[in-house]
Amino acid sequence: MSTAVVPKGKRKGPPPLLVWPLQIFVAIVLGYAGVSKLAGYQDAVEIFTQLGMESWGRYIIGLIEVGCAVTLLTKWASVGALFSSGVMFGAMLAHLDPDKVGIAVTVAGESDGGLHFMLALAVLVGSVVVLIVRRRELPMIGDTL
Amino acid sequence: MAAAIHVNMEKMAQAVNVSLPLMFVASLLGGIFGHFAIHFLTIALLYLNMLNLYYLFLQKTHALLSNFGIMAQLRYVFESVGPEFRQYFFMSDVEERPFTRVQRAEVYRKAKGVDSSLAFGSQMDFDGSEYKLRHSMFPLNVDQVEPYSLTLGEERGITTAFTMKKPVMISAMSYGALGQNAVRSLARGAKLAGIAMNTGEGGYPKYHLMEGCDLIFQLGTAKFGVRNPDGSLNDELLEKVASEPNIKMIEIKFSQGAKPGKGGLLPKEKISPEIAELRGVPMGKDVISPTHHVECTDAESTVKFIRHVQEVSGLPVGIKFCLGRATQFAQMVMEMKAQDVFPDYMSIDGSEGGTGAAPRGFMDDFGTPLFIALPTVQDILMEHFVRDRLKLFAAGKLISPGLQLMAMSLGADAVYTARGFMLSLGCIQALQCNANTCPVGITTHDPALTRGLNIEDKAQRVANYVHGLEHDWYEMLAALGRKNFNELAKDNLLVPAQAESAKKARQTMMLRKR
């Protein structure tokens, strides 16, 4: 106890508390999106039908989203941010390909005016920011980042 | 054969670095023109590529990652799991350090109260380089061996003399080094087994005192718990500590086998309000453990300080040190004779002693090993005819009954062990005592890790370990043909040749110095 190993080098202290509101925001949107997929809301079903992944893909993505929403509120937030940003990159691929979903989603004959896309984009940006701020907390590779 | 299975890491890394982006593009196209689900792979490859590019071109800290990219991570992964792999799969039962699996298994079995006998033969090599106990041609019956008893302070005739009924004590481990569950398990176990426990230099021993066992209060160089703000001894506080009925002795620590002559630093981050209160240090400031007691700068002042502590505390007072220069020790003994002041015991810590944290150089390259130091001290005390003025304790990897009796044959009256008791608590030798991540919850304050340490259950294991040791001591003493522990002498021991030559070298050196 009388001696202690003091960490040296460029390792910085804990990340600013400012990312917490962001994590909470991302977790709420992501949690809602995940639950709506798992519960089989009409828009989710239509999107995954267009992707040819109904219903198995809907459940997988829904589970990942709910899992990320929970982990984003714990000390494993870095892992949650990694996976949620991955899922949202996937969402971008779906929205930006006009043959698949497209930017404006048509649910029950009505266009959502790009709402799904905007939310996905917001979650993507939020997750990437959280991931960058907390990159050193990632298991295994965190020490090298 | 070696060439045939040799893997060219450089070529492999190059192949990976080229194929990762290609695979990403292929997967992206597959997802766009084929099935969308292929994008699961696209995303994974996207991240791997980003990480790889960062390693190759952006970061400058890790040369290996810069040159080979993500493949080099394998090295770090393998390196990080190496110790576990070696311990579980590759190391033989007698290879691990500080304690081999054979040594640890004996403690575990004693602590669990199961049979600790072995079959078919020893795992050790017998090449004459090891200490062995020499048995008697005419062993005694076990019931002929007299019960152990040692009274500290009897030489001075003080009323607070402390009698021990078992020749083993729990060595110095503070609250701080150990978590509170570990401290309380050990203290309760000590109470169950009827042995004394050393508090370590952790200040006021709040958690040690909870279980009602006999305690030896350790006075470290920073004098935690009994210090003035400048680090000198506060007599009033010492008197208060000494008046605790469970505190039976005071031990002045001069040095420690694991890091002899080195002070320490208690970083301000580690000073919680509780630690600040128990140790008597201010918060928000690093506290330095000096290399020596401020009162002790030479033999004369040191002996005066010992007498001062004896007078203030009114208890038996011992000193703990790791032997350095034998000539200096001899001078101190002469000074003790001149002032007619002797500590009630000396605790000799071998350089193999354990610690929570120390620089490798101090751990590996400093101090005299116990089995050299102990006979040296014994001889010097004998030469000056003062061996009967004090008791000798020994410490340093003495976790098995055989080693403990060897130390007692070399002059010790009783032995200390810390790691033996940690093993009895379930220590798996993960070597993380300095990191607050002890997987079995002994040297950590993380509630998630200490919760596994059940005080009631572990205290019983501590007591079982002592009972197991005791059983073996009496059997071994009978085999040695000794009626009493104090009959143990050097002719019980087979001393290996190189230890003998080390002794000769020391004697020549001593003669030259005189």
Provide DSSP, B114-172: ------SS-SS--SS-S-EEPPPSSPPPGGGSPPP-EEETTTTT-TT-EEESSSEEE--
pLDDT at B417: 96
A145, closest residue in chain B (CA to CA) = B59
Tell if the CB–CB gap between B43 and A51 is shorter than 8 Å: no
pLDDT of residue B263: 83
Residue B214 is given by DSSP the state E
**How confident is the model over A68-83, as a mean pLDDT?**
94
Q: What's the pLDDT score for residue B1? A: 43
Total length of chain A = 145
Q: Biggest alpha carbon distance in chain B?
A: 97
Q: Contacts of residue B32 in chain A, CB cutoff 8 Å?
A: 93, 97
Q: For position B29, what pLDDT does the model report?
A: 93
Whether the Cβ atoms of residue B493 and residue B132 lie closer than 8 Å to each other: yes
A130's tokens: 């959280």
Per-residue tokens: A110 = 């009505």
**Using the beta-carbon criterion (under 8 Å), do B36 and A94 form an inter-chain contact?**
yes
Which of A1, A11, A65, A145 to mutate against chain B (most B CBs within 10 Å)?
A1
Using the 8-state DSSP alphabet, how is residue B367 labeled?
S
Nearest by CB to residue A4, choosing from B43, B77, B270, is B270
CA distances from B266 to A132, B193, B225, B353, B443 (A): 33, 33, 14, 21, 16
Number of helical (H) and strand (E) elements in chain B, helices listed first: 18, 14
C-beta separation of B347 from B393 below 8 A? yes
Q: Given an 8 Å threshold on Cβ–Cβ distance, is A86 in contact with B357? A: no
* Pairing of the two strands A110-111 and B214-219: unpaired
Token reading at B166: 């078992």
Give the integer Cα–Cα distance in Å for B191 and B185. 10
| Token code pair at residue B113 | 């109260």
> Is there a contact between B289 and B221 (Cβ–Cβ < 8 Å)?
yes
C-alpha to C-alpha distance for A5 and A134, rounded to whole angstroms: 23
pLDDT of residue A8: 45
> Tokens representing B94?
């007698």
CA A38/CA B434 separation, integer angstroms: 46
C-alpha distances in Å from residue B311, one per residue of B148, B161, B250, B307, B453:
29, 14, 11, 6, 40
Taking CA–CA distances from A82, the nearest residue in chain B reads B47
Residues near A93 by beta carbon (within 8 Å), at least 6 away in sequence: A100, B31, B32, B36, B39, B42
Residue of A nearest to B42 (CA): A90
* Among B326, B351, B332, residue whose Cα is nearest residue B390: B332
Tokens of B431: 């070597």
Q: How does pLDDT run along chain B (514 residues), one tens digit per residue?
A: 445 556 677 888 889 999 999 999 999 999 999 999 999 999 999 999 999 999 999 988 888 889 888 888 888 778 878 888 887 888 888 888 899 989 999 999 999 999 888 888 888 878 777 889 999 999 999 999 999 999 999 999 999 999 999 999 999 999 988 999 999 999 999 999 999 999 999 899 999 999 999 999 999 999 999 999 888 999 999 999 999 999 999 999 999 999 999 987 777 777 888 888 999 888 888 888 899 999 999 999 999 999 999 999 999 999 999 999 999 999 999 999 999 999 999 999 999 988 888 889 999 999 999 999 999 999 999 999 999 999 999 999 999 999 999 999 999 999 999 999 999 999 999 888 888 889 999 998 889 999 989 999 999 999 999 999 999 999 999 999 999 999 999 999 998 877 677 667 666 666 655 4
Residues 6+ apart with CB under 8 A from B47: A82, A86
What pLDDT does A6 receive?
Answer: 44
User: Is B319 within 8 Å of B251 (Cβ atoms)?
Assistant: yes
The predicted pLDDT at position B328 comes to 94
Contact B370, B396 (CB under 8 A): yes
Taking an 8 Å Cβ-Cβ cutoff, which residues of chain B contact chain A?
31-32, 35-37, 39-40, 42-44, 46-47, 51, 54-55, 59, 61-62, 65, 73, 76-77, 174, 176-177, 200-202, 220, 222, 259, 262-267, 270, 289, 356-359, 434-435
φ, ψ (nearest 5 deg) of residue B74:
-55, -40
Which residues are within 8 A (CB) of A88 and not within 5 positions of it... i.e. 6 or more apart?
A120, A121, A123, A124, A127
Residues in chain A closer than 8 A to B357 (CB atoms): 1, 3-5
Q: How far apart are the first and last CA of chain B?
A: 62
Is the pLDDT at A19 greater than 80? The verdict is yes
Determine the 3-state secondary structure of B441 from DSSP: coil
Query: What secondary structure, in 3-state letters, does B271-337 show?
Result: CCHHHHHHHCCCCCCCEEECCCCCCCCCHHHHHHHHHHHHHHHCCCEEEEECCCCHHHHHHHHHHHH
- Interface of chain A toward chain B, CB-CB under 8 angstroms: 1-6, 10, 51-53, 57, 82, 86-87, 89-90, 93-94, 97, 100, 140-141, 143-145
Q: Which of B29, B36, B279 to mutate to test the interface with A (most CBs of A within 10 A)?
A: B36
Type of residue numbered A129: V
* Comparison of pLDDT for A5 and B508, the residue scoring more: B508
Q: How far is CA A79 from CA A86, B405, B446, in A?
A: 11, 54, 22
Q: What is the largest CA-CA distance in chain A?
A: 71
**Within 10 A of B53 (CB to CB), how many other CB atoms are there?**
15
| CB-based contact B145:B482 (threshold 8 Å) | yes
User: What is the phi-psi region of residue B385: left when phi exceeds 0, alpha when psi lies from -120 to 50, beta otherwise?
Assistant: left
Q: Report DSSP state, residue B395.
A: E
B384 membership: H or E segment, kind and range: none
Residue of B nearest to A128 (CA): B47
Q: Which residues of A touch B220 (CB under 8 A)?
A: 2
Q: Using an 8 Å Cβ cutoff, are A73 and A82 in contact?
A: no
**Beta strands B132-133; B493-494: pairing state:** antiparallel
Between residues B346 and A102, the one the model is more confident about? B346
What is the pLDDT averaged over residues A119-126? Answer: 94
B51/A141 Cβ within 8 A:
yes
Q: Note the ipTM here.
A: 0.89
Q: How far apart are the C-alpha atoms of B282 and B363, rounded to whole Å?
A: 29
B326-339 vs B497-513: helix crossing angle, rounded to 10: 60
Q: Is the pLDDT of residue A4 over 50?
A: no
Q: Flag if A53 and B51 touch (Cβ within 8 Å).
A: no
Q: How deeply is B421 buried, as exposed, middle or buried, from its count of CB atoms within 10 A (0-12, 13-18, 19+)?
A: buried
Q: What is the pTM of this model?
A: 0.80
Cβ–Cβ gap A144/B55 under 8 Å: yes
pLDDT of residue B378: 95
The predicted pLDDT at position A2 comes to 46
Please, which residues have CB within 8 angstroms of residue B163's CB and are 6 or more apart in sequence?
B149, B150, B151, B152
For residue B357, give the chain A residue with the closest CA. A3
Helix (H) or strand (E) holding B415: strand B414-417
The closest alpha carbon to B194, from B470, B394, B401, B399, belongs to: B470
Phi/psi at B417 (5° precision): -145, 140
> Token digits for B141?
């019956």
Confidence of residue A9 (pLDDT cuts 50, 70, 90): very low
- Best interface-test mutation with A: which of B38, B42, B43 has the largest number of A CBs within 10 A? B43
pLDDT of residue B510: 63
| Residue A5: per-residue pLDDT | 46
* Nearest CB to B62 within list A4, A57, A144: A144
Q: In angstroms, how far is the first alpha carbon of chain A from the final one? A: 30
- Nearest CA among A29, A28, A40 for reference residue A121: A29
Reduced to 3 states, what is the DSSP secondary structure of residue B204? coil
Q: Is the dihedral of CA A66, A69, A75, A79 positive or negative?
A: positive
Distance from CA of B358 to the nearest CA of A (A): 7
